[in-house]
Amino acid sequence: MALELHGEVKNGQVMLPLNQAELRRRWLDSLKDGTRVIENLRKEGKAKSWSQVKAHWGLAIEMIRERMIELGWSLCGIAPNKDMIHDILTKACGGVGEMGEVIRLSEMTTTQAAAYFENVRDWAATQLNLVIPDPDPAWRVRMTK
């Protein structure tokens, strides 16, 4: 079982609403001593938009796939498919977290997804000599509002 708790930082500590703090305590109490657990913390943010997902999969990845095939790229003798390209881009361009960590597209906020798309565009330009158009040139203005 996994728990997702939503709190607020005060004085460097995560403060949970009482009902969530109690749920966390009861869950931990239900485990045997020595049980290994993982606790993840992330800053809450607005989830990426559907148009950002479409721009990634429908524009960037499709253009990159066509260019790779045109240039004769293969991965272990297999022509690159969209999932392979997405995995490559996640590793090569996904360092968009506040600490430079790689974040999967499914977990990105709108700001992180926009930075990731720019990284993908830069990667395509330098590695494939491919210019991927900016689907929304005004996103930078909206992100600052």
Q: What is residue 109's predicted lDDT score, i.e. its pLDDT?
A: 84
What residue segments make up the domains of the chain, in order of their start? 1-41, 50-143
For the chain, 145 residues long, the average pLDDT of each consecutive 10-residue run is 78 86 88 87 70 89 95 87 91 80 82 89 96 78 56
DSSP characters for 58-125?
A: IIIIHHHHHHHHHTT--BTTB---HHHHHHHHHHHH---STTS----GGG-BHHHHHHHHHHHHHHHH
Number of neighbours of residue 141 by Cβ within 10 angstroms = 8
Q: Does the reported pTM lie above 0.75? A: no
